[in-house]
A = this chain, B = another copy of it.
Amino acid sequence: MIMNKYVTEFIGTMFLILVVGVAAIGGAAGSMAPLAIGSMLMVMIYAGGHISGAHYNPAVTLAVLVRGKINMGDAITYWIAQIGGALAAWAIATFIFDIEGADTSAVKSVGQGLIAELLGTFALAYVVLNSSTAKGTNGNSFYGLAIGFTLTACVFTFGGFSGGAFNPAVAIGACLMKGFVWADLWIYLVGCLAGGSLAGFVFNLINPEDKNKS
């Protein structure tokens, strides 16, 4: 059972980070990269949501943990699968498609980078929790569209300040591909995990009837 979820998280995260690597870092999609990235997240959510919940993002898994819809054991397995997806995307992008970033920082300043990652990850996790785990939106067909286009809007908006990861697995993949630099990794980890946790707390605050129901 958990194996199916693991495979689903691995596949979805790998494709998401492949698009980040080839279309954005490699430049294939030009100014439309945010649309390509958000579209891939959307479609992988629609493909995998019924199996694993389709997180594809350690910060989203953390938000779902804070909200009380996943247990710690599964969360750790999800994080391993997501990092595994990042490694696979890196290997394919680097050794098959010859992608190599400029090896320069994508962060404009530490403060701007931290806030950009926090805001974007908060938006992403807030939309995830409300559109795919709340009683009030149960059974809808829009959750993938909502989550994917949150990423599109946030990359268009905040990408110039932090590189626009909003996802620690994406940040690790982008460091491996030299689109981001390792010295900045802590910014993504702190910003994304703070944004995801905050979204979990805010969700519980404004959806009192859903709290800790799974």
Query: Please, which residues of chain B bring their CB within 8 A of the CB of A42?
Result: 145-146, 149
Query: Please, which residues of chain B bring their CB within 8 A of the CB of A15?
Result: 119, 123
- Asked whether, in the complex, the Cβ of B207 is within 8 Å of the Cβ of A51, the reply is yes
- Asked whether, in the complex, the Cβ of A150 is within 8 Å of the Cβ of B43, the reply is yes
Classify the interface of chain A: helix, strand, loop or mixed: helix
In the bound complex, CA of A22 to CA of B18 (Å): 27
In the bound complex, CA of A15 to CA of B118 (Å): 13
For window 39-77 of A, CB contacts with B under 8 Å fall at 39-40, 42-44, 46-51
A104 at the interface (CB under 8 A from B): no
A7 at the interface (CB under 8 A from B): yes
A185 at the interface (CB under 8 A from B): no
- Asked whether, in the complex, the Cβ of A19 is within 8 Å of the Cβ of B157, the reply is yes
For window 100-153 of A, CB contacts with B under 8 Å fall at 111-112, 115-116, 119, 123, 126-127, 130-131, 134, 136-137, 140-147, 149-150, 152-153
Q: Whose C-beta in chain B lies nearest to the C-beta of A6?
A: B206
Q: How many copies does the complex hold?
A: 4
- Asked whether, in the complex, the Cβ of A152 is within 8 Å of the Cβ of B36, the reply is yes
In the bound complex, CA of A149 to CA of B15 (Å): 13
In the bound complex, CA of A18 to CA of B123 (Å): 12
- Minimum C-beta distance from A15 to chain B (A): 6
Which of A27-35, A79-87, A169-177, A188-196 touches B? A27-35
In the bound complex, CA of A33 to CA of B157 (Å): 9
Task: Among B28, B47, B160, point to the contact of A131 (Cβ < 8 A).
Answer: B47
- Asked whether, in the complex, the Cβ of A146 is within 8 Å of the Cβ of B97, the reply is no
Task: Among B51, B112, B156, point to the contact of A97 (Cβ < 8 A).
Answer: B112
For window 166-214 of A, CB contacts with B under 8 Å fall at 202, 205-208
